[in-house]
């Protein structure tokens, strides 16, 4: 059976093709009775306007570019699910670009986004450089940045309260009598997860007038579980022996837990441990990992809504910085310090 066309819809509603187009694109007001006739005809025929043709009329492709460093990380998968649910409901398609943190790939995908005439971009895990700045200056594409302090001039950002969440995690350890706390930092090239969570840790220690020694902080070289393992190895090789460890991500915490187990240390009896992110596996390991919860799906939802606000208001420079809240999830990997 042949698909219905806009001509068929116009004939059934007894209006012109131009009127059907106006109703579907919402470009001009139409008589409510006429609009109802057109929409009824659309429903009866099952007519769906071609996205490309519609884009030629309203100068929109209804395509959004989403750039992330990896998809294997559960966090990014949750963010994608959240933003896709909103964008799909609004009739937008997603072009997903996975960069592995490679600037050359990022620039290649930017060019691809430009060629596809996408309406907007959602960015995460991108290292801002002169080349990135040049792209946005040349193309003026609306963009929202998520998960990092990424100063795209005038573009809005949505960030996790990394400082507050890290302060909360450290305070939880302090409230349980731990003063010798080791911190496994995420890589410092990530300003949000690396720098801000370290800042929150140090601030909480300072608030209790406890000094932070160089040996108590180890910087992981990546976000992999294996990096958490190596970081714990480095930390415990020193004379500094913490009664608790705060890892900047759950992945790093899991690596640290594996190292402790491999070396005969019991969690939490010999060493308490707390993470950050609340990924699914954190509630499945034994002992269950105490951590800082972030609703990453809702995080993606808010990012999508923020971009839609930019597009619908035809504003490329909405100066907004949304801070997304965190909560403590107390499980089994932290107990009161009895080694005072």
In tens digits, what is the pLDDT along the chain, a chain of 340 residues? 567 888 888 898 899 888 887 787 665 667 888 888 888 888 888 877 655 455 545 567 889 999 998 888 889 999 999 999 999 998 899 999 998 878 889 889 988 888 888 999 999 877 777 787 788 778 778 889 887 655 555 678 888 999 999 999 999 999 999 999 999 999 877 767 888 999 999 999 999 999 999 999 999 998 999 999 999 999 999 888 999 999 999 999 999 999 999 999 999 999 999 999 999 999 999 999 999 999 999 999 999 999 998 888 765 556 578 889 999 999 999 999 987 6
Classify domain 63-159+297-324 by CATH architecture. 3-Layer(aba) Sandwich (3.40)
The reported pTM is 0.80
Nearest to 145 by CA among 313, 297, 302: 302
122 vs 48: CA distance, rounded Å: 27
Ordered by start, the domain boundaries in the chain are: 6-58, 63-159+297-324, 162-294
Give the burial class of 113: count Cβ atoms within 10 A of its Cβ; 0-12 exposed, 13-18 middle, 19 or more buried. buried
Residue 171, token pair as written in the block:
């305070």
Nearest to 272 by CA among 202, 204, 205, 333: 333
Superfamily, domain 162-294 = Response regulator (3.40.50.2300)
> Is the fold of 63-159+297-324 the same as that of 162-294?
yes
CATH architecture of 6-58: Orthogonal Bundle (1.10)
Q: Which two tokens stand for residue 115?
A: 């060629």
Q: Is the Cβ–Cβ distance between 178 and 273 less than 8 Å?
A: no
Q: Would you mind telling me the total number of residues written for the chain in this entry? A: 340
CA–CA distance from 80 to each of 16, 100, 204, 292 (Å)? 41, 16, 32, 20
Report how far Cα 233 is from the mean position of its chain's Cα atoms: 30
């Amino acid at each position: 059976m042949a698909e219905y066309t806009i001509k068929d819809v116009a004939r059934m509603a007894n209006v012109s093709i131009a009127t059907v187009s106006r109703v579907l694109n919402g470009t001009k007001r139409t008589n409510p009775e006429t609009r109802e006739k057109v929409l009824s005809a659309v429903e009866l025929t099952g007519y769906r306007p071609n996205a490309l043709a519609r884009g030629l009329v309203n100068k929109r492709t209804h395509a959004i570019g989403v750039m992330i460093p990896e998809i294997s990380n559960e966090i990014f998968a949750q963010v994608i699910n959240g933003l896709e649910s909103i964008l799909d409901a609004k009739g937008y398609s997603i072009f997903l670009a996975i960069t592995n943190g490679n600037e050359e790939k990022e620039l290649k995908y930017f060019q691809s986004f430009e060629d596809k005439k996408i309406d907007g971009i959602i960015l995460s895990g991108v290292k801002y450089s002169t080349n990135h700045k040049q792209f946005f200056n040349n193309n003026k594409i609306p963009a929202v940045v998520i998960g990092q302090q990424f100063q795209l001039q005038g573009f809005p950002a949505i960030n996790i309260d990394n400082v507050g969440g890290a302060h909360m995690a450290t305070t939880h350890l302090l409230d349980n009598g731990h003063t010798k706390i080791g911190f496994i930092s995420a890589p410092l090239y990530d300003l949000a997860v690396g720098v801000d969570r370290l800042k929150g840790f140090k601030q909480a220690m300072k608030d209790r007038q406890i000094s932070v020694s160089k040996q108590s902080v180890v910087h992981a070289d990546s976000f992999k579980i294996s990096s958490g393992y190596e970081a714990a190895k480095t930390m415990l090789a020193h004379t500094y022996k913490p009664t608790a460890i705060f890892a900047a991500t759950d992945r790093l915490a899991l690596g640290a837990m594996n190292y402790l187990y491999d070396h005969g240390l019991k969690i939490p009896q010999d060493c308490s441990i707390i993470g950050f992110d609340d990924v699914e596996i954190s509630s499945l390991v034994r002992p269950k990992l105490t951590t800082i919860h972030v609703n990453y799906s809702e995080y993606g939802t808010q990012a999508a809504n923020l971009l839609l606000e930019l597009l619908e208001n035809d504003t490329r420079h909405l100066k907004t910085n949304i801070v997304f809240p965190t909560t403590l999830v107390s499980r089994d990997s932290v107990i009161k310090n009895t080694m005072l």
